[in-house]
Amino acid sequence: MTRKRRRLYLLGLFLVGVGTATALTLSAFRDNLVFFYSPSDLVEKHVPPGRTVRIGGLVEQGSVLRTAEAGSKAVEITFKVTDLSHDVPVVYSGIIPDLFREGQGVVANGKMGSDGVFHASELLAKHDEKYMPPEVAEALKKSGHWQETGVPAKK
Amino acid sequence: MIPEIGHYALILALAVALVQASLPLVGAARNDLALMDIGRSAALAQFGFIALAFACLMQCYVVSDFSVATVAENSNSAMPLLYKIAGTWGNHEGSMVLWVFILALFGASVAAFGRNLPPSLRARVLSVQAMTGVAFLAFIVFTSNPFLRLNPAPPDGNDLNPLLQDPGLAFHPPFLYLGYVGFSTTFSFAVAALIEGRVDPAWARWVRPWTLAAWVALTIGIAMGSWWSYYTLGWGGWWFWDPVENASFMPWLAGTALLHSAIVAEKRDALKSWTILLAILAFALSLIGTFLVRSGILTSVHAFAVDPRRGVFILAILIVAIGGPLALYAWRAPQLKLGGIFAPISREGAMVLNNLLLSTGCATVFLGTLYPLFLDAINGSKVSVGPPFFDATFVPLMVPLVIVMAVAPLIAWKRGDLAGALGRLWAAAAISGLVALGTYIAVHGASVLAIFGMALAAWCSAGALVEVAQRVRLFRVPFADSVRRLLSLPRSAWGMTIAHFGIGVFIAGVTASSAWQVEKVQLVRPGDTVDVAGYAFTFEGVVEAQGPNYIERRGTFVVTRDGRPVATMHPSKKFYPVQQQTTTDAAIHTFWIADLYATISDPDEGTQEGGAPAFPNRADGAWAARLYYNPLVPWIWIGAIIMAFGGIASLTDRRHRVGAPVPARARPAAAPAAAE
């Protein structure tokens, strides 16, 4: 085994490895990148139903409803996410994170239904009461309802 | 007075570090022993001053001195003592002091235990170590002074983030930092070797114990972090591919690759420049991790304060600390003499494959973690990269790695016999086949992937055992003879076997817990019974209790199986009035081969604060319960502990002890124990 041959083998192995990783990464990016939409984006752009996306904004005051009958065991709730220009109805079945509040920022992962309702599979738990998800802050700035104090304008 | 002493000690440490960074380097260039020796005493002095500063800061927290700004912001007089102490590093400023404390600790260790290093190498290592120290001490003194006073002092503090008030998390940062910062030593060794222009097997032998120590600490630190997220985030999951987790995982991957390539450099004098590059990259990834977590670019529980000045400062450190050595590498690496040659099928070849897969895996994690930042910077679109991406890229890369892991130790150095090695692994293949069959029979409708995962775990663990059995010639020589051989195996061989076995245990835990987790989410009222994988959880209601700095609502589940009592579980919600924050405490009952896991939450909680009365179907005193049956999940941490233990075993090997005399010549290659 000459040094040259050895290097050639190593190089070949390296290229195969890098090639595989690149192929895996590219295909994974195509399928698994989750884009963020604000409620206004959802109205303006077409979001294909069935694709996993992430939405964010404020939980609209007074919009949180427990849809199930009294005495039922279901944990389903509905609420609206707003950027104070547009809002989008969300249905979610699961445990509500500790910091989920009406009037506070929220980010939800899920899919847009053909009925215009966003089916959330996950509400993102945030670590801090005062914390505003950056996407939400951005969405509020775009819709022109952002106040520099960090507290969004109330309607 | 105490805070001023601490502040002064920090500034003195910075001055000493400046001396340590410059004079020994000059001394090494001029071959002046007196100048080189300054490095040792300076390293010890620097450590002393930083230790003093750290002790002063801790004292401020213990006595709750709220005239110090960081204490007032991050502590409270009602907190238990453990969290007052942990609060020292539970904030930006304090955690940076911990960072330099550990950095100086490693520097002082090199000074104290590196007596047998050539003086010029030791001087250069200490000098490079001090350069990192200068950068971070300056960062603390100029942008993040932990001893800043408040006037007037507030009557009480702001409390520590309740999520951080947890015994597991109290010790997670020190271990993680021991790992992160531990790679600074290998980094210093690599840069020093580049300056010297010489890398030989002795260099690799000196570097390995430091790599091992850092790797062990990082393994424990990551495991602690994931254990914490398992029981406090209440999702029943243990790893989220969160950017902050990835930030600690990337140095681990690079460090693991480094551990293996350093063996090749030590035993065969090959892969030297690659080893140097890995040593630089492992620390570079640690710095990037620090930057990502501390700059506030990524928002998480770890991003304590968003201050652009700090981010820019760390970014500058990052550019110098990564760019400088890489430029030095580009300049010097071609001058390193090439080492021994080897055939593709050989132990070296297997190590190259190991390194290739680990570094590619590390690259995919890097890409997945930073891609959202790049995209945001380029066109402002907000994307997130979640677990599916990493499942699709990282996991497939690790499968061949684990397959090769069992084979590689049976292949000889230089030129190996693959067919022979595979033939000797028949027992491992048989065990792994049996496990696959057993899984297929035991778990109704088990997926192909899950069966494969279990078989892979068995292959890895059994392969590690087969390798030991081969080495002690089990069943081929009298049993007592085998035992004697077993006891005389070098510690580093033990280390490898234990660590590889641990990875198998870990894989079994990961596979089973992700494939066969049973989840039930529903509303429960007192008296309700929920069936989870054959376990009947009966809800007995919630009582309120007062803790030292929180109000607890504590639920009770009585768990039975076939009418026999199994456990009583108390999931709870804790409300911290000072920070107006609620945390979830999961109740976990472990059988060691499975966990029962329960959390509760008030289903109406999200709607109470807005004062909105429009809530027609209130849950009427019902609680939302999240109940899990998590098979084999404890094995994830048991596996990690076994891995760390393997590292410790290897660390105690005589040959790695830096103080131990270096053998005059290499062991005879024929000795079976020399293989590793």
Give the burial string for A93-130 (b: 16+ CB within 10 Å, else e). bbbbbbbbbbbbbbbbbbebeeeeebebebbbbbbeee
- Best of A18, A66, A121, A132 to disrupt the B interface by mutation (most B CBs within 10 Å)? A66
Whether residue B207 is predicted with pLDDT greater than 70 in this model: the reply is yes
Q: Please, which residues bridge with residue B600 across strands?
A: B625
Whether B584 and chain A come into contact, CB under 8 Å, resolves to yes
Q: If pLDDT is split at 50, 70 and 90, which confidence band does B305 have? A: very low
Within 10 angstroms of residue B543's Cβ, the number of other Cβ atoms is 12
pLDDT computed for residue A129 by the predictor: 46
Query: Where does the pLDDT of residue B664 fall: very low under 50, low under 70, confident under 90, or very high at 90 and above?
Result: very low
Count the domains in chain B: 2
Residues in chain A: 155
Complete DSSP assignment for B360-378: HHHHHHHHHHHHHHHHHHH
Query: Tell me, what CATH number does B98's domain have?
Result: 1.20.120
pLDDT of residue B676: 36
- Banded model confidence at residue B304, pLDDT cuts 50, 70, 90: very low
Contact criterion met (CB < 8 Å) for B341 and A3: yes
Last residue of a domain, one of B110, B132, B164: B164
Whether B59 is in a domain gets the answer yes
| Distance (Å, whole) CA B254 – CA A18 | 16
Q: Which of A46-55, B107-116, B276-285 reaches the highest mean pLDDT?
A: B276-285
Q: Which two three-digit tokens encode residue B151? A: 């006037």
Which range, of A116-130, B49-63, B224-238, B514-528, averages the lowest pLDDT? A116-130
Instruction: Report whether pLDDT(B662) > 50.
Output: no
CA distance B378 to B375: 5
In sequence order, what are the residues at sequence separation of 6 or more whose Cβ sits closer than 8 angstroms to the Cβ of residue A13?
B344, B352, B353, B356
Interface with chain B: mutation pick from A26, A32, A58, A81, highest number of B CBs within 10 Å: A32
CA of residue B396 relative to chain centroid, distance = 22
Asked if A19 and B397 touch (Cβ cutoff 8 Å), the reply is no
In a domain, B19, yes or no: yes
A residues 81-120 closer than 8 Å to B (CB): 93-96, 98-103, 109
Residue B22 lies in a domain: yes
Whether the per-residue pLDDT at B298 is higher than 70: the answer is no
pTM for the model stands at 0.89
DSSP B335: G
Q: Which domain holds residue B527?
A: 518-604+619-632
Residue A133 binned pLDDT confidence (cut-offs 50, 70, 90): low
**Cβ within 8 Å, pair A93-B521:** yes
Determine, yes or no, domain membership for B657.
Answer: no
Query: CB–CB of A102 and B618 under 8 A?
Result: no
Q: Is the peptide bond before B152 cis (omega within 30 degrees of 0)?
A: yes
- On average, the pLDDT of chain B sits at 86
Assess if residue B210 is contained within a domain.
no
Q: Parallel, antiparallel, or unpaired: how do β-strands A87-93 and A118-123 relate?
A: parallel
Question: Between B426-442 and B448-471, two packed helices, what is the crossing angle to 10 degrees?
Answer: 150
The minimum CA-CA distance between B591 and chain A, rounded to whole Å, is 26
Residue where one domain finishes, among candidates B142, B164, B186: B164
Which of A6, A21, A61 comes nearest B360 by C-beta? Answer: A21
**Domain residue ranges of chain A, discontinuous segments joined by +:** 1-33, 36-142
- pLDDT for the residue A132: 62
Among B116, B137, B164, give the residue marking a domain's end: B164
ipTM: 0.80
**Residue B607 to residue B614: CA distance in whole angstroms:** 9
Contact A141, A85 (CB under 8 A): no
| Amino acid letter, B41 | S
Cβ B172 vs Cβ B224: under 8 Å: yes
Residue B379: Cβ within 10 Å count:
7
Task: Work out the pLDDT band at B301, boundaries 50, 70, 90.
Answer: very low
Each residue of B453-484: pLDDT tens digit? 999 999 999 999 999 998 888 888 888 888 88
Asked if A34's CB is within 8 angstroms of B522's CB, the reply is: no
Q: Find the closest chain A residue to B600 by CA distance.
A: A95
Whether the predicted pLDDT of B189 surpasses 80? yes
Residue B299, pLDDT above cutoff 60? no
Question: If one looks up domain A36-142 in CATH, what number appears?
Answer: 2.40.50.140
